[in-house]
Amino acid sequence: LQQRRGFRLSAPAAIQVTVRDALNQALDEELERDERVFLLGEEVAQYDGAYKISRGLWKKYGDKRVIDTPISEMGFAGIAVGAAMAGLRPVCEFMTFNFSMQAIDQVINSAAKTCYMSAGSIAVPIVFRGPNGASAGVAAQHSQCFAAWYGHCPGLKVVSPWSSEDAKGLLKAAIRDDNPVVMLESELLYGVPFEMSEQAQSKEFVIPIGKAKIERQGTHVTLVAHSRPVGHCMEAAAVLSKEGVECEVINLRTIRPMDIETVEASVVKTNHLVTVEGGWPQFGVGAEICARIMEGPAFNYLDAPAVRVTGADVPMPYAKILEDNSIPQVKDIVFAVKKALNI
């Protein structure tokens, strides 16, 4: 009616939100929604979190809901798993997922396997979250991507967000899920602003675990990535578009369960596949995607072998020039696409 009278209706109010603030919103909303939810980890309370993800939450919810722990990943992960078995819904923050190696017995043997081993009688609704993969200048013991490691293990769900909407929607879904969920974030994305739709600003906004998103439509080649490399794929697609090559970019969002159907549908359309990840090549996420495509109906639509773009098969170097050459760059994706298309 207003449009008929000449009034222009305003578009939905999308805003710019950093990944850090999106994660903070998700934690705040879920702590408020469900009194069983609590956050624990190193420096998450009085210091507002090592990366300021939990900023303001300790002052708002107090010592029982936001808990600083000693520097003992095995200890506080075990406390969190026990609390989940007892009916609470802990969010366990690792300062970096490289340190989750100290607690991997709790993550795999205690959290991931218990529901199966108890014939479904004991649920473990826990979220393990924190930065994953390469940061900048922090060398080998802080730069490993664990997507393939944790994606390998039945009993876990594994999510890997790129944008602010991904971060908020997937974290809320993870907290509400009755299974253990590993949420692999990128430290280098925490301060990056993304557009957040009006829908995503709602307290009930949740992204289903196990559903990929097509970030850019294309017809010549399918690019599949997760976390920060999705942005590199978008940049590479923009470069290639100027040369007449239209890339379809798929943001995987979930590593386990993997939305292979979305990838298959895209490959059927484009007839070419390039996977991109920051992790090591051997037994990686890209290797799994390529195997699943080969074993499924989309294989018959490939006009060329699939190509993987990965991190270098070395422990992460400290020197910047070596680090840059160990992580997939936009130029590497452009080169891989041209190789796949034989141009």
Which residues does the annotation mark as catalytic?
73, 142
CA gap 97, 220 in Å, rounded: 36
d(CA 234, CA 330): 9
Residue type, 75: G
Residue 257 structure tokens: 């369960």
Give phi and psi for 37, each to the nearest 5: -80, 135
Q: Which amino acid is at 9?
A: L
State how far the alpha carbon of 41 is from the alpha carbons of 71, 86, 110, 317, in Å. Answer: 8, 19, 18, 28
Residue in the block written with tokens 């805003």: 15
| Nearest-5° Cα angle at 276, 270 to 277 | 155
Distances (CA, A) of 106 to 40, 62, 71: 15, 26, 16
Own/partner contacts of 72-80, CB < 8 Å, gap of 24 or more, are 72/102, 73/99, 73/100, 73/102, 73/103, 74/102, 74/103, 74/105, 74/106, 76/40, 76/41, 76/42, 76/103, 77/103, 77/106, 77/107, 77/128, 78/103, 78/106, 78/110, 79/40, 80/40, 80/106, 80/126
Task: Tell me the β-bridge partners of 129.
Answer: 93, 183
